């Protein structure tokens, strides 16, 4: 299955949590139906990107990266690459590259949220971001790559640094809640 087909399958199967997210889900699917290259940066009307809130094993901290250009604390993520075969794989690749943490796992259940925002790619475009929750192992160690970010850190999920944006705050809240629910469900099953 191609990355384009995987993204279409993921978005088709995803149940949006509210009307605005459902509108975005439909917009993303229309984008993929209209643009065969809709996964790639070269698609200037917009392109699918993959990001995540990386949450600590105890669920109390999130990894944020200080974006080199925008000078804001943001979640891990970015453009899909030719070697990516799935959105989930792109999310884990980006989270690993940007955090340096080995052994990250994607929280089950698919995406948490979608976010569409303008970007300067190609002189002006949109990121159609598919956002996930990623769980760090208990022994996680951050390793900043200067090519990836200006800074990197763990921050309490309820006390994120400034400057950041509401998209990042919303994703971290949703991811922390999803991790807590996952941990609770795992404790009941175990």
Q: In the 8-state DSSP scheme, what is residue 121?
A: G
Helices 3-13/19-34 angle, 10° precision = 150
Is residue 190's pLDDT more than 80?
no
pLDDT-above-90 percentage for the chain: 89
Average pLDDT score over the chain: 95
Q: What is the mean pLDDT of residues 60-65?
A: 98
Reported pTM: 0.96
- Of 172, 63, 187, the residue nearest 115 (C-alpha): 172
Give the pLDDT of residue 123: 87
**pLDDT of res. 189:** 81
Q: What number is the average pLDDT over the span 95-117?
A: 96
Which residues, 6+ apart, have CB-to-CB distance to 176 below 8 Å?
A: 53, 55, 59, 60, 62, 157
pLDDT of 174 > 90? The answer is yes
The residue-averaged pLDDT of 38-56 equals 96
């Amino acid at each position: 299955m191609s990355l384009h087909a995987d993204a279409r399958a993921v978005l088709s199967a995803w149940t949006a949590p509210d009307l605005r997210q459902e509108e975005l889900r439909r917009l993303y699917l229309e984008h993929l139906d209209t643009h065969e290259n809709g996964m790639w940066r070269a698609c200037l009307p917009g392109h699918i990107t993959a990001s995540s809130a990386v949450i600590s094993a105890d669920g109390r901290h999130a990894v944020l990266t200080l974006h080199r250009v925008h000078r804001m604390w943001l979640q891990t993520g970015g453009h899909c690459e030719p070697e990516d075969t799935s959105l989930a794989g792109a999310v884990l690749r980006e989270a690993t590259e940007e955090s340096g943490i080995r052994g990250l796992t994607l929280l089950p259940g698919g995406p948490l949220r979608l976010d569409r925002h303008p970007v300067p790619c190609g002189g002006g475009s949109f990121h159609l971001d598919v956002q996930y929750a990623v769980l760090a192992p208990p022994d996680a160690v951050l390793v900043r790559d200067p090519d990836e970010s200006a800074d990197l850190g763990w921050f309490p999920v309820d006390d994120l640094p400034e400057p950041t944006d509401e998209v990042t705050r919303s994703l971290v809240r949703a991811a922390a809640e999803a991790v807590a629910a996952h941990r609770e469900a795992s404790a009941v099953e175990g």
